[in-house]
Chain A
Amino acid sequence: MRDLLARLAVGAPVPVFPVAGGGTREALARLRLRPDVHLVDTPRHAIVLLVLGEFPPGEIAGLAAVHDMIPSPRVTVHWTPGGPRDDVPRSMRVDGDDTALVAALSRVAGEVLSGTRASEPPIRPDVDPVEWRGIGPYGHGGKGMTGGTPFGRPLAERAPDRDGLELDQLSVTVGPWLGALPPGLELGIKLQGDVIQEVEIHPPAVTLERPDGWVRALEVPVPVAELELDRARHHLVWLGEALRVHDLPALGQRTLRLAQGLTPGDRGEVERVLAEVRRTGIYRLALRGLGAVDPSQVGGLGPVARAAGLEDDARLDDPTYQELGFRPVSHRGADAADRWRQRIAEITQSLDLAGRAGDRTAFGDGVVEGPRGRITSDGILPGAVTVDLLPELLTGLEWGDAVAVVWSLDVDPTGVASRSSPEGAAA
């Protein structure tokens, strides 16, 4: 029976839960396009735990918990686009490109399903988080009606809710590998029902992503065509991931496929897909009125600033862009829908610029307009500043709306790492 099921199951895409470290944004997007792999939203639906990319030295935050959530049979694979991790056993490591990775994922999944490879045992011991047995008047860990830690869990706190009632408040940590949030983002939140009452940003779980082309443009002039295609590609990958979280995965895949091998000549197809995105009604149904930012807080944040009506763009000061007649697109509502409109408009604008730029070069004097905003030589990436907006914007929102706002900001938790590491070095 097991053999029969395993043989039948070979035809299905391997359900993989990704734990994505630094420098894997594009690799993850490519992996989503592979028909033999299905990147799932929760470890419970996976067979393979895929750890990819770069992490700070030492244990990967939350990895053991994610591993143990995967039901048996389970298997772990490590893969780094740039080269193997040294601290991982060879049996769990895959070297090589995407194709080698997909082949390895299918192979290990087949082995663990047919039983030729043993399922991995849990990493963490199966014990209660705190002592509770035998404690208290009924031996359940509580102190009568309120208080104590009954059955090993602290009781929810109470606080006034938005209707003025005193209701339970639940403190939880979400992330860093929650499928609904960008990889590496960890938030401590207090929830009443599904309304967020308090948000705290936890230290990031991922090392600095190196946006190579953009950092290089700080020092030497770089071809405009190359930069603008990179920008369009960045926004298309963002759009694909955001559409997936908004439950339009097929349209998201189409967008991610466009990002592969993008050229200025693809403009017609890009416009067709963007029109389809608009036709889903996503602005009106899911985004309008959510997460409006104060324009005074978003200077230098690229599309987020321009969606709030600011003509904030380092390209305005660059002579090459001036020569090309560059004028930034902007919107005025400052909410999540406007940020989507902004990036979608910038995709076609960038393709247009890339097509007209010829072999002109731009930047090279310490300031670059990256896809998330202004990058300067001080090493602070705009994604870091965007993360700081979250506590204020998310407080008071329902969970689903909060997720929409996080994606509309194109938050980059790895940017936090880039900011905190110089401080760490100073200390």
Chain B
Amino acid sequence: MSPAWAVALVGVLLMVSVYLVAVMETIFGLRVSGVRGYGRAWALPMSRAALLLSQRRSVTERPDAQAWALAPALLGGLGAVALTAIPLAAGVEVADVDAGIVLFGAALVQVMVAVFLHGWAANSLFPVLGAFRMAALALSVSIPFSLVVITTALPAESLSVGLIISSQESLWNVVRQPLGLPIYLITGLGFSFWAPLQLPDARDLSGGTSAEVSGAALLVWRVARASILVAVAAMGAAAFLGGYLGPWLPGWLWMAVKTFGLLAILVWSGHRIARPRMETAVKLGWTVLLPLALVDVFVSGALTL
């Protein structure tokens, strides 16, 4: 795929999916709050975006202006890079690399850097507390996350996402490795700091790393954050649910259905599960998810042998 087409494709895909995530978020919010009539939900994200674009960006006392401007762009860029590693249909892969899941993982671990910069650069108390929360959260979830992703490569005997998908023709990884998908989704929520794991941008910090951000910069930050969630869901569909494999429907449609199914679960959980304390989240990562991820690796490894 030529670079121009690739950029356009990833851009359009991300915009459409991020908009749908915003719509989903609105609909689930209305539903949980007991309001009927979801027609409004389709236009609401557009109006909200227009409102943010009409606002000037705010200035704090002596911010690190370059890092502040860089952070949202970096986060969005990482979401886009992560998405390039995932085949959208048989043979349609933006970055056709042999080690696709390594590229994906490399993009996601740097999310911590973007969020930390975002909080640090504002030169303000609550954003920097949010930044440190992200460091603690990302460190706690990244090892179990990497382990369950790498485990999907065992049956395929390859790090290429395309081969991981085709290895699931007889049996999806969600069945073959039952521990994998739940651990992947929980840690994925941590990487995209999405509710209930939105600790770095939580309300008890008045918005955390985005507490001092307004206008277009806030819009870009929110879009970038949702793009990480989209990338996580798309990889979840590819690595555990057989990606574009499926009967009757065209491959790309199967991929879209599975991705949005996972997105719905992720967004829904934000309204139904309480945000844990920082300490509880860190303990969950190290004492529950990490041992379970190791079991996943060992059992899957033994079965593959």
Q: Which residues of A contact B (CB under 8 A)?
A: 2, 4-6, 8-12, 15, 35, 41-42, 44-45, 47, 69, 71-73, 113, 151, 170, 172, 178-180, 191, 193-194, 244-251, 253-254, 257, 279-282, 285-286, 290, 398-401, 403-404
Q: Quick one: which of B34, B203, B218, B277 contacts A285, CB cutoff 8 A? A: B277
Q: How far is the CA of A279 from the CA of B32 in the complex (A)?
A: 13
On chain A, the residues within 8 Å of B274 by CB distance are 246-248, 280-282, 285-286
A247 near B206 with CB under 8 A, answer no
On chain A, the residues within 8 Å of B47 by CB distance are 8-12
On chain B, the residues within 8 Å of A286 by CB distance are 274-277, 280
B275 near A246 with CB under 8 A, answer yes
A336 to chain B, nearest CB (A): 10
Residue of A nearest to B59 (CB): A71
Report 22 cross-chain contacts, Cβ distance below 8 Å, ordered by A residue: A8-B47, A8-B50, A8-B51, A9-B50, A9-B51, A41-B207, A45-B207, A45-B214, A113-B51, A151-B62, A194-B129, A247-B196, A247-B274, A250-B271, A251-B33, A257-B34, A280-B274, A281-B273, A285-B196, A286-B274, A398-B278, A403-B204
Q: How far is the CA of A257 from the CA of B198 in the complex (A)?
A: 25
Q: Which residues of B contact A (CB under 8 A)?
A: 28-35, 40, 43-44, 46-48, 50-51, 53-58, 62, 125, 129, 132-133, 195-196, 198-199, 202-207, 211-215, 218, 271-280
Q: How far is the CA of A11 from the CA of B51 in the complex (A)?
A: 9
Q: Tell me the number of A-to-B contacts counted with CB atoms below 8 Å.
A: 155
A415 to chain B, nearest CB (A): 23
Query: Which of A2, A10, A179 has the most CB atoms of chain B within a 10 A radius of its CB?
Result: A179
B29 near A250 with CB under 8 A, answer yes
B57 to chain A, nearest CB (A): 7
Contacts known (A45-B214, A250-B33); A12 close to B50, Cβ less than 8 A: yes
B282 to chain A, nearest CB (A): 11
B207 to chain A, nearest CB (A): 5
On chain A, the residues within 8 Å of B28 by CB distance are 250
A399 near B54 with CB under 8 A, answer no
B165 to chain A, nearest CB (A): 34
B211 to chain A, nearest CB (A): 5
A35 near B271 with CB under 8 A, answer no
Which 9 pairs from chain A and chain B are nearest by CB?
A8-B50, A11-B47, A12-B47, A282-B274, A250-B32, A253-B33, A9-B51, A285-B276, A403-B204
Residue of A nearest to B215 (CB): A71
On chain B, the residues within 8 Å of A254 by CB distance are 32-34
B273 to chain A, nearest CB (A): 6
A11 near B44 with CB under 8 A, answer yes
B275 near A180 with CB under 8 A, answer no
Q: How far is the CA of A401 from the CA of B53 in the complex (A)?
A: 35
On chain A, the residues within 8 Å of B34 by CB distance are 253-254, 257
Q: Quick one: which of A4, A170, A246 contacts B125, CB cutoff 8 A? A: A170
Q: How far is the CA of A281 from the CA of B196 in the complex (A)?
A: 11
Q: How far is the CA of A342 from the CA of B168 in the complex (A)?
A: 51
Residue of B nearest to A191 (CB): B125
Q: How far is the CA of A170 from the CA of B124 in the complex (A)?
A: 12
Query: Which of B51, B56, B218 has the most CB atoms of chain A within a 10 A radius of its CB?
Result: B51
A71 near B206 with CB under 8 A, answer no
B260 to chain A, nearest CB (A): 20
A277 to chain B, nearest CB (A): 9
On chain A, the residues within 8 Å of B272 by CB distance are 279-280
Q: How far is the CA of A44 from the CA of B214 in the complex (A)?
A: 6
Q: How far is the CA of A249 from the CA of B29 in the complex (A)?
A: 8
B275 near A42 with CB under 8 A, answer no
A244 near B277 with CB under 8 A, answer no
Q: How far is the CA of A251 from the CA of B43 in the complex (A)?
A: 23
B204 near A71 with CB under 8 A, answer no
B207 near A42 with CB under 8 A, answer yes
Other 4 A-B pairs with CB < 8 A, given A12-B47, A71-B57, A404-B277: A11-B47, A44-B58, A248-B274, A286-B276
On chain B, the residues within 8 Å of A280 by CB distance are 272-274
Residue of A nearest to B37 (CB): A35
A167 to chain B, nearest CB (A): 13
B120 to chain A, nearest CB (A): 14
Query: Which of A2, A257, A400 has the most CB atoms of chain B within a 10 A radius of its CB?
Result: A400
On chain B, the residues within 8 Å of A257 by CB distance are 33-34
B48 to chain A, nearest CB (A): 5
Q: How far is the CA of A44 from the CA of B68 in the complex (A)?
A: 15
Q: How far is the CA of A128 from the CA of B55 in the complex (A)?
A: 25
On chain B, the residues within 8 Å of A247 by CB distance are 195-196, 198, 202-204, 274-275
On chain A, the residues within 8 Å of B206 by CB distance are 41-42, 178-180
On chain A, the residues within 8 Å of B195 by CB distance are 247
A108 to chain B, nearest CB (A): 14
On chain A, the residues within 8 Å of B202 by CB distance are 247, 400
On chain A, the residues within 8 Å of B198 by CB distance are 247
Residue of A nearest to B196 (CB): A247
Q: Quick one: which of A44, A193, A251, A403 contacts B212, CB cutoff 8 A? A: A44
On chain A, the residues within 8 Å of B54 by CB distance are 2, 5-6, 9, 73, 113
Q: How far is the CA of A406 from the CA of B31 in the complex (A)?
A: 29
Q: How far is the CA of A196 from the CA of B35 in the complex (A)?
A: 39
B58 near A71 with CB under 8 A, answer yes
B121 to chain A, nearest CB (A): 14
Q: How far is the CA of A72 from the CA of B56 in the complex (A)?
A: 6
Q: How far is the CA of A182 from the CA of B196 in the complex (A)?
A: 22
A112 to chain B, nearest CB (A): 9
Q: How far is the CA of A88 from the CA of B247 in the complex (A)?
A: 69
B62 near A285 with CB under 8 A, answer no
Q: How far is the CA of A64 from the CA of B218 in the complex (A)?
A: 23
Query: Which of B31, B46, B54, B198 has the most CB atoms of chain A within a 10 A radius of its CB?
Result: B54
A67 to chain B, nearest CB (A): 13
Q: How far is the CA of A338 from the CA of B211 in the complex (A)?
A: 31
On chain A, the residues within 8 Å of B211 by CB distance are 41-42, 44
Q: How far is the CA of A403 from the CA of B199 in the complex (A)?
A: 13
A44 to chain B, nearest CB (A): 4
B86 to chain A, nearest CB (A): 29
